[in-house]
């Protein structure tokens, strides 16, 4: 009986949403709003953003990927944290540090509106 009550409470509790809220994300959505305002990428989910980041990183040269990896602090910053909001924000920050944000914004816009 207690198990059923706990299941009901868990089902009734609101789901925790992940948010993309950082200076790096603000820079990203401002860049995409300027390029493709109808895509509304400011509403992108962490999972969709992660996929677009992985696709973009796959287009970089080996040396660009190495330089990006050297400044991407997602691993240490996000260790022990669930979800993708932390690593996607950290990766955006790394794009900024390596001068790749404009290129990533263009690539993200090419992917169309978020799912």
The pLDDT value recorded for residue 93 is 96
The pLDDT value recorded for residue 115 is 80
Radius of gyration of the chain (CA): 17
Distance CA(90)–CA(48), nearest Å, equals: 15
65: left (phi over 0), alpha (psi -120 to 50) or beta: alpha
Widest Cα–Cα separation across the chain: 59
pTM for this prediction: 0.82
Distance CA(17)–CA(14), nearest Å, equals: 9
The pLDDT value recorded for residue 7 is 44
Give every residue of the chain whose pLDDT is below 70, as ranges. 1-19
């Amino acid at each position: 009986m207690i198990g059923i009550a706990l299941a009901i409470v868990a089902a009734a509790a609101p789901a925790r949403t992940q948010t993309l809220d950082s200076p790096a994300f603000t820079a990203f959505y401002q860049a995409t709003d300027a390029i493709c305002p109808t895509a509304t990428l400011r509403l992108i989910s962490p999972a969709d953003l992660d996929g677009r980041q992985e696709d973009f990183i796959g287009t970089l040269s080996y040396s660009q990927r190495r330089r990006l990896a050297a400044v991407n602090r997602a691993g240490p910053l996000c260790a022990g944290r669930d979800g993708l909001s932390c690593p996607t924000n950290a990766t955006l920050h790394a794009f900024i540090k390596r001068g790749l944000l404009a290129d990533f914004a263009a690539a993200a816009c090419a992917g169309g509106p978020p799912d």
